[in-house]
């Protein structure tokens, strides 16, 4: 498949046409609009290497994400960043390129923190290798992490190596009734204590707190915190990760008056006063807002003043810009990186900015 990819890339560069890198297409809606001939990654599949004792798995870009998770589950291991699928056809390469992390991110780390190495087919058809399969191999490690969340704008990620972690021995979710201000205060208070917190979610006056780890640690935390035990907690967190939770129902299906914004803020930030319904994750660091894209200027100004940034995640009018506008110096870095890896600008043009 690499030779097929290489021929398609070189032909596109020679003719001046553009390529749209696409796996299962489950995140086609994410980012700015896209264009170009589809470069389909789904034929490049398979787990290249997996050694459970080393806590590392290497797989090709078109490998179904569900297949990787099933193989890990057989060894009682997991992708600790809990990448959302947003559909049955999600691929490993697509997950890396999107760079999205799920409910466990605030406590276990983001997807980019787990990327150890990657292979990239650049805009000239050259196969570049970065990083390795162990944490101490730091050659090019930053480039591997750079590819996470790049949305295919730098090249085709042909395969990647990521660190995996053992599944927790025990998990329990507690439910508390409290308002937004109290929830944020409690989450930051608990975050400074030796508690096995692995996820949090506040919405409509209810805070859900997931505890993960050794059975004794989880039991001790339950006794210390109180609250009500939430039944079927796995289904709850899966619904949050895949945005099937009632909060997300129907968002982005209309004319742009009801879009989904992702607000990234310091976790200690108090209640953010904006028009629209909110859901809070990651101990207060990630907040989802349902509001029209016509409110983009007010949303971004408010969030920036609090030290964060806002993304038009799903739906709405993308002409306002999906991602927070870059500072001039950062924009120049983006431009130089793009020119280095994709000098002919054939990969996913305009997908990010």
Which pLDDT band, with edges at 50, 70 and 90, does 136 fall under? very low
CA distances from 60 to 2, 48, 147 (A): 11, 7, 15
Q: With helix as H, strand as E and coil as C, how does 188-252 read?
A: HHHHCCCCCEEEEEEECCEEEEEEEECHHHHHHHHHHHCCEECCCHHHHHHHHHCCCCHHHCCCC
What number is the average pLDDT over the span 274-288? Answer: 96
Q: Residue 257: pLDDT above 90?
A: no
- Asked whether residue 92 carries a pLDDT value surpassing 60, the answer given is yes
141-160 tens-digit pLDDT: 478 889 999 999 999 999 99
Residue 133, pLDDT > 80, answer: no
Give the whole-angstrom CA distance, residue 288 versus residue 103: 13
**Which residues on neighbouring strands pair with residue 279, listed in sequence order?**
288
Give the per-residue pLDDT at 33. Answer: 84
Residue-level pLDDT at 144: 87
Question: Can you read off the two tokens belonging to residue 17?
Answer: 């046409």
Signed CA dihedral, 119, 332, 28, 162: sign only: positive
pLDDT of residue 61: 97
The CATH number given to 170-241 is: 3.30.70
CA atoms of 1 and 158, how far apart (whole Å): 9
Distance CA 348, CA 38 (A): 10
CATH dotted code for 2-166: 3.30.465.10
pLDDT band at 138 (very low <50, low <70, confident <90, very high): very low
Mean pLDDT for all residues in the chain:
93
pTM, entire model: 0.93
Per-residue pLDDT at 141: 42
- State the Cα–Cα distance between residues 111 and 27, nearest whole angstrom: 16
């Amino acid at each position: 498949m690499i030779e097929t990819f290489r021929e398609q890339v070189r032909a596109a560069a020679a003719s001046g046409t553009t390529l749209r890198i696409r796996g299962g297409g489950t995140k086609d809606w994410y980012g700015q609009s896209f264009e170009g001939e589809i470069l389909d990654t789904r034929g490049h599949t398979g787990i290249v290497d997996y050694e459970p004792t080393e806590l590392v798995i290497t797989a090709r870009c078109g490998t179904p994400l569900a297949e990787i998770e099933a193989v890990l589950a057989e060894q009682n291991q997991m992708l600790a960043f809990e990448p959302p699928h947003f559909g049955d056809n999600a691929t490993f390469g697509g997950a890396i390129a999107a760079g999205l992390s799920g409910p466990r991110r605030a406590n276990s780390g983001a997807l980019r923190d787990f990327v150890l190495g990657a292979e990239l087919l650049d805009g000239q058809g050259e196969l570049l290798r970065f990083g390795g399969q162990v944490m101490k191999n730091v050659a090019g490690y930053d480039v591997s992490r750079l590819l996470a969340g790049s949305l295919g704008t730098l090249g085709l990620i042909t395969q990647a190596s990521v660190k995996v972690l053992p599944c927790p021995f025990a998990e329990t979710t507690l439910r508390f009734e409290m308002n937004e201000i109290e929830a944020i205060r409690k989450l930051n208070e608990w975050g400074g204590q030796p508690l096995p917190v692995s996820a949090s979610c506040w919405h409509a006056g209810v805070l859900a707190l997931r505890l993960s780890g050794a059975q004794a640690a989880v039991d001790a935390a339950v006794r210390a915190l109180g609250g009500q035990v939430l039944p079927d907690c796995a289904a709850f967190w899966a619904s949050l990760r895949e945005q099937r939770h009632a909060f997300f129902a129907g968002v982005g299906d209309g004319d742009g008056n009801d879009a989904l914004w992702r607000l990234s803020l310091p976790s200690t930030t108090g209640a953010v006063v904006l028009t629209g319904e909110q859901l809070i994750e990651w101990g207060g660091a990630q907040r989802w807002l349902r509001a029209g894209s016509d409110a983009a200027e007010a949303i971004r100004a408010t969030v920036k003043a609090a030290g964060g940034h806002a993304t038009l995640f799903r739906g709405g009018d993308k002409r306002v810009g999906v991602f927070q506008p870059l500072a001039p110096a950062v924009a120049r870095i983006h431009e130089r990186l793009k020119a280095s890896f994709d000098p002919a600008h054939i990969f996913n043009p305009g997908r990010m900015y």
